[in-house]
Amino acid sequence: MPGSKEALSALCRDYWYPLYAFARRRGQSAHDAQDLTQGFFLSILKRRALKQADPARGRFRSFLLGSFQNFLADESDRARALKRGGDREFLFLDAEEAESRYELEQTDQLTPEKIFDARWAMALLTRATKRLQEECALGGESARFEILHPFVGVEFGRSPPTYEEVAGALGVSLATAKTTIHRFRKQYIVLLRQEVSRTVSDPAEIDEEIRALCEALAVAEGHI
């Protein structure tokens, strides 16, 4: 992982919520969890700690959580000082959104670690979906993405349209609609595997990591 300010900003934008949820489940107040999460990312920038995330050492997911656990144990007071220091206040965490999301979590039977893994999985799925949306936009197929995106990612409580509905929306035959959906899903899976590959040390670990994250997500949502 590169240690640049731009890379850290992207990292924070995509992965701050799993760490926020972890801190909340560990008993931190909403305000303290926000301070600690932002302070953690700011400390990473200050110490250039991402350079320590050697891919040969294992999953980046584990590295980030382990680093955050150490931060909570050793540097909680510094988190507030870092956040409020002013000169490095470039990260933005939406506290209201974070707490609204956390209030929806089914946390009663979940450990902080399981909450983190599930929200990490959601972050990866969201990144892959956003990349797919960008690819469709570049190809002039934004309308197609809007019709087909319920077939990828995770949207609990919402059923995708039927094949007949897709065929009608696209103005194609039923057979063509089925083929289009299949190809759309394959395109998404390629992007998802690319995202996961950036967080593991060995390509052979991609399938195992996807299975682990899907299981964590299913447990968190009460599906198993």
Residue 106 has what pLDDT?
65
- To 10 degrees, what angle do helices 95-103 and 5-25 make? 40
Contact 121, 14 (CB under 8 A): no
Q: Are the C-beta atoms of 74 and 38 separated by less than 8 Å?
A: no
Average pLDDT over residues 33-40: 87
Of residues 205 and 98, more confidently modeled: 205
- Residues 66-80 have a mean pLDDT of 76
What are the domain boundaries of the chain?
1-104, 108-224
Worst-scoring range by mean pLDDT, 7-16, 63-72, 120-129, 139-148?
Answer: 7-16
Q: Which residue has the higher pLDDT, 197 or 53?
A: 197
Contact indicator for 79, 40 with CB cutoff of 8 Å:
yes
Specify whether the CB–CB gap between 195 and 205 falls below 8 A. Answer: no
The 10s digit of each residue's pLDDT in 156-203 is 556 889 999 999 999 999 999 999 999 999 999 999 999 999 888 888
Residue 109 vs residue 33, higher pLDDT: 33
pTM reported for the whole predicted model: 0.78
Higher pLDDT, 12 or 214: 214
Best-predicted range by mean pLDDT among 12-16, 115-119, 180-184? 180-184
Q: Which residue has the higher pLDDT, 87 or 150?
A: 150
- Label residue 27 exposed, middle or buried (CB < 10 Å: 0-12, 13-18, 19+): exposed
By residue count, the chain amounts to 224
Asked if the model's pLDDT at residue 41 lies above 70, the reply is: yes
d(CA 21, CA 115): 7
User: Is-contact 150 158, C-beta < 8 A?
Assistant: yes
Closest alpha carbon to 156 in 91, 217, 89: 217
Q: Give the whole-angstrom CA distance, residue 15 versus residue 116.
A: 10
